[in-house]
Amino acid sequence: MEATRKILDLNAFDMNAADKLPPAVTSLVKRRKQTFGPTSMLFYERPLNLVRAEGVWLHDADGTRYLDAYNNVPSVGHCHPRVVEAISRQLGTLNTHTRYLYDNIYTYAERLLATMPEPVSNIVFTCTGSESGDLALRIARAVTGGTGFIVTENAYHGNTTAVTEISPSSASAEPRPPYVFLVPAPDTYRHGSEAIGPKFAEDIRKAIAGMKAAGIQLAGFIADSIFSSDGVYPGEPGFLAEAVSAVRDAGGVYIADEVQPGFGRTGEKMWGFARHGVVPDMVVMGKPMGNGFPMGGVAVKPEMLEAFGSKSGYFNTFGGNPVAAAAGLAVLDVLNEEGLQENAFDTGAYLRSELRIAGGNGDRVGDVRGSGLYIGLELVKDKASAEPDRALAERIVNGMRERNILIGIAGGHGNVLKIRPPLCFTREHADIFIDGFRSTLAKVI
């Protein structure tokens, strides 16, 4: 999809500019190009050469520290000592696959499933969000007999062949298979918060009708409930319910992709779908689950897993090993004990409020939206036209990086700042962020 390629490009380092960097950095870029190939992308016009991290801070080789307002994988904070200690201890004790019994993996499964709505009471562990999404599609197709999936126009659900097909934001999702139908993201900025629930449901019903007309049977609808790669649209709690009902009425399943909103990030609830009062058929988990330890999972209704398992084998070598369980348990402990979901709620609200104030006087910050510590800030040519301004977003991302603050970009038009820090991001950090944002905005407009 041409749109995303440009988004990646505008945020990316130009490999041909390597010689303009300090010699030590140039050398790393050359070694990277030699081993990873020339199409491997680095962030920012001036890439970062990192050496260590803790909490919300990343440190480069020159001793500069960067405020991390981008990375959602180290969700409870970079190198959290509690998580590091739990993983290290387990690594030295036992690390095997799940064909043997091991107590702590069931303890973790029970703790995790206790956060899910009651009918979602089985779990399959994997290593990544991509593997989880891929498995969820297989289960959905096996239990419904359908092949068709509905996703939003700029969705991203991972990097395997199967989930790339349902990831229109990925360049390699083209050409799109005939069984993938797209609906516009719930753009509350341009359509308003009140209208978006019925509109989104209507778009889903149209896609279902289109699929039926094409002779394709619906398998399901998959979305992350804040529509992150579409441009961050959390919408009002509950707006998703009507669309989910429409999918169920047509015989499809609803898969909640919680790789982005899950594990407390959206502040109001542990899970993004829970904001909407809907019960998914499957919940896809990844990124923040182990705070950087590679792990993922699919929580699923037992009757679906049994129907799938009765005709299909699935085994994941590393998935659910005792080390992943130790990492996952430590993440749940830290989330609870440090009140990180509550912090996401409070700090997120404060940060959005301050960003609205910072953008209020000018004509370029069209919208500030989000839930908890997942925030989208939409840059426009002017508020009246609401025309996306991709070039401005690029200047701000790189301008912030020069002020040692890290953010990214989202959305089909590449004009939405993606602000998504570790959940231990406090008001103090938000104030540093706002200062940097104000001065960047003043300089780059």
- Considering only residues 222 to 281 of the shown chain, the ones binding a second copy according to CB under 8 A are none
Could you say whether residue 170 binds a second copy (CB under 8 A)?
yes
C-alpha angle 18-436-74 in degrees, rounded to nearest 5: 70
Could you say whether residue 203 binds a second copy (CB under 8 A)?
no
Q: Which is nearer to a second copy, 42 or 344 (CB)?
A: 42
Which one of 68-76, 186-194, 358-366, 410-418 is the stretch in contact with a second copy (CB under 8 A)? 68-76
Nearest Cα to 315, choosing from 152, 77, 125?
125
Angle between helices 322-337 and 340-360 (to 10 degrees): 60
Nearest Cα to 261, choosing from 234, 279, 236?
234
Q: Which is nearer to a second copy, 137 or 240 (CB)?
A: 137
Per-residue binder mask for a second copy (CB under 8 A), 304-323, x = binder: -xx--xxxxxxxxxx--x-x
State in angstroms the smallest separation of the CB of 396 from a second copy: 18
Choosing from 3, 6, 15, 73, the residue that interacts with a second copy (CB under 8 A) is 73
Torsion of Cα atoms, 242 then 243 then 248 then 249, to 10°: 70
Instruction: Please tell me what DSSP assigns to residue 237.
Output: T
Per-residue binder mask for a second copy (CB under 8 A), 1-30, x = binder: ---xx--x----------------x--xx-
Burial per residue of 104-142, b for 16 or more beta-carbon CB atoms within 10 angstroms, e otherwise:
bbeebbeebbebbbeebbbbbbbbbbbbbbbbbbbbbbb
In this structure, are strands 405-406 and 408-410 parallel, antiparallel, or unpaired? unpaired
Distances in Å between the Cα of 54 and the Cα atoms of 263, 324, 328, 340 are 20, 21, 19, 16
Binding to a second copy in span 321-380, by CB under 8 A:
321, 323-324
The count of residues interacting with a second copy (CB under 8 A) is 97
d(CA 342, CA 183): 32
Choosing from 23, 37, 175, 215, the residue that interacts with a second copy (CB under 8 A) is 37
State in angstroms the smallest separation of the CB of 421 from a second copy: 14
Binding to a second copy in span 131-160, by CB under 8 A:
131, 134-135, 137-138, 142, 159-160
Q: Which is nearer to a second copy, 19 or 103 (CB)?
A: 103
Q: What is the largest CA-CA distance in the chain?
A: 62
Choosing from 10, 47, 368, 394, the residue that interacts with a second copy (CB under 8 A) is 47
d(CA 396, CA 403): 10
Could you say whether residue 36 binds a second copy (CB under 8 A)?
yes
Strands (E), 233-325: 253-257, 282-285, 296-300
Could you say whether residue 64 binds a second copy (CB under 8 A)?
no
| Cα of 356 vs its chain's centroid, Å | 23
Which one of 187-195, 211-219, 299-307, 371-379 is the stretch in contact with a second copy (CB under 8 A)? 299-307
State in angstroms the smallest separation of the CB of 132 from a second copy: 11
Binding to a second copy in span 94-123, by CB under 8 A:
94-103, 106, 109-110, 113, 121-123
Which one of 46-54, 274-282, 353-361, 371-379 is the stretch in contact with a second copy (CB under 8 A)? 46-54
Q: Cα-atom radius of gyration of the chain, to the nearest Å?
A: 21
Q: Which is nearer to a second copy, 216 or 246 (CB)?
A: 216
Could you say whether residue 214 binds a second copy (CB under 8 A)?
no
Could you say whether residue 418 binds a second copy (CB under 8 A)?
no
Could you say whether residue 130 binds a second copy (CB under 8 A)?
yes
State in angstroms the smallest separation of the CB of 173 from a second copy: 9
Query: Which residues, in sequence order, are CB contacts of 24 under 8 Å at separation 6+?
Result: 49, 61
Tokens 């209507």, residue located? 202
Nearest Cα to 238, choosing from 290, 197, 182, 186?
197
Could you say whether residue 175 binds a second copy (CB under 8 A)?
no
Choosing from 235, 267, 294, 412, the residue that interacts with a second copy (CB under 8 A) is 294
What is the three-class DSSP state of 293? strand
Could you say whether residue 42 binds a second copy (CB under 8 A)?
yes
State in angstroms the smallest separation of the CB of 238 from a second copy: 30
d(CA 333, CA 339): 10
State in angstroms the smallest separation of the CB of 385 from a second copy: 30
Query: Which residues, in sequence order, are CB contacts of 175 under 8 Å at separation 6+?
Result: none
State in angstroms the smallest separation of the CB of 180 from a second copy: 13
